[in-house]
Structure 1
């Protein structure tokens, strides 16, 4: 008897809920349940026209436009309208009664994730391809997925950078700029979007635009190390080494363990012929990249040009020739430093090794 009463109660509740719906909305629910989507579309359109203040009606209109018509602009307009009218309004979504807010979030997030994650996977696979035609074909598939992700959830920032980059790789710089400039307009104070825009403008050789955007990042957050570093790179490309160094130093103060920054500061001092100043930064960069032979060569060049760090340079190069015994330049640098310190026998021996490696004997 109790089971029968409980069952009757549930049925009664469902009947009451259904009875509260206008007939056009109820018809839409039934049509969707029976997968009669053309009929659902008609009844849904009638519902929003007849009951423009009904949040449930707007939700179904939005879902049908997105899921069945791929009209994402209308979908988003309808979802936003439903949320504005009554985010707590119960709707039927995937067989359950949930709020408009929950239904919209679940639908948008599900479709967004499916398209975005698929695009990221496709891009990764495309980058491994050597055949350019095949690579472009895969990138175009990724483009479609990223655009769909944005259509479903335009306020999510994740797809804008990769979509712009895909267009760049497809050779469409106009579309690449349209995507990223649109993102900047939508999210004018989002650091991630602004930094991405700075990168993309730099790749397009629009240096002044990149600089402008990166300075906007610092207006939003003066503690953004990446923006200082990228501005330093812009000044380095202009051979403005003093200005570049100023930016790099500001970045390093915020990110003291960044080996790339240490290297960039070393390069800026090197190009100003401030070799003693460059040395500690190149040393720091090698701490995280101890197998970087080019880094060793550049640092060795600094020691050779230094007037105050010759003993330190000899110790460094004695270690370097053990690490890279076939590097002729290392032996030559060591010979020069031995000679500067009056260590003739060692200088001759190191120079002989240099000649052997160069085949000059």
Structure 2
């Protein structure tokens, strides 16, 4: 038990160490080094508001606005009050709107990349609340439900995606996969056939057809 607490304490100090190091790099104009330091801090403490905020600052200094927006959005969603504290502490001017649909989509993507699946789901849900007819948001939410084994919920989101955008082949494919995993084979076959019709004659289509032949004999 003593060893555990010692190890945990070291991890936290490393997080603080890289955060302080990144701030020093930023203050000295060494923005690339700052990005690397803050990335290490985020890896050690994915739920740390300050490290996400500072990584956003470093990206912003490097002219990487999309990445900066994502990190600022994560920091804001983790704790809006602390986010505002860090805006004042670091005297950072945030030009980005962090409540529109695009930023919630970016936030969901960033959470998913970091393995924070429940947070990603909440971000995509918020995006859908703002813009219910966003097919990409429904599709992304469906993929996360699939990852959690919630195939019925996934099917609902993929179905919404294809209702909004009937030409979204990846949504048809994943809708078919969700049906297949629930034993709804006739519906799965229908969606797979639609997928094949939508895909151009490319290597990807051949790969999909091969996979479907292996799975259900299409």
TM-score, normalised by the number of residues in structure 1: 0.36
2:210 to 297, 300, 309: 297
1:181 to 65, 74, 92: 74
Judged with a 3 Å threshold, the aligned counterparts in structure 2 of structure 1 residues 144 and 196 are, in CA distance, closer, same or farther, namely: closer
- Deviation of the 1:144 alpha carbon: 8.5
Where do 5+ consecutive residues of structure 2 fail to align?
1-26, 33-55, 81-95
Judged with a 3 Å threshold, the aligned counterparts in structure 2 of structure 1 residues 144 and 238 are, in CA distance, closer, same or farther, namely: closer
CA contact (8 A) 1:245 1:265 kept: yes
Is it true that 1:194 corresponds to 2:104 in the alignment?
Answer: yes
Provide the rounded CA distance (Å) in 1 between the counterparts of 2:164 and 2:176: 17
CA RMSD of aligned residues (A): 3.0
Provide the rounded CA distance (Å) in 2 between the counterparts of 1:144 and 1:182: 11
1:286 to 180, 183, 196: 196
1:227 to 116, 130, 137: 137
Is it true that 1:209 corresponds to 2:115 in the alignment?
Answer: no
Judged with a 3 Å threshold, the aligned counterparts in structure 2 of structure 1 residues 149 and 183 are, in CA distance, closer, same or farther, namely: farther
- Deviation of the 1:302 alpha carbon: 5.1
Alignment match, 1:101: none
Provide the rounded CA distance (Å) in 2 between the counterparts of 1:144 and 1:240: 37
Larger relative contact order, structure 1 or 2 (CA cutoff 8 Å, min sep 6): 2
Alignment match, 2:67: 162
Alignment match, 1:270: 180
Where do 5+ consecutive residues of structure 1 fail to align?
1-70, 72-118, 120-142, 151-157, 166-175, 305-312, 314-361
- Deviation of the 1:301 alpha carbon: 3.9
Structure 1 residue matching 2:129: 3-state secondary structure:
helix
Alignment match, 1:251: 161
Provide the rounded CA distance (Å) in 2 between the counterparts of 1:253 and 1:296: 23
Structure number with larger C-alpha Rg: 1
Provide the rounded CA distance (Å) in 1 between the counterparts of 2:58 and 2:121: 31
Aligned length: 146
CA contact (8 A) 2:73 2:98 kept: no
Deviation sequence 1:140-188 (CA, Å, 0-9, x none): xxx98842377xxxxxxx81x32478xxxxxxxxxx5xx3324666634
Structure 1 residue matching 2:106: 3-state secondary structure:
helix
- Deviation of the 1:274 alpha carbon: 2.0
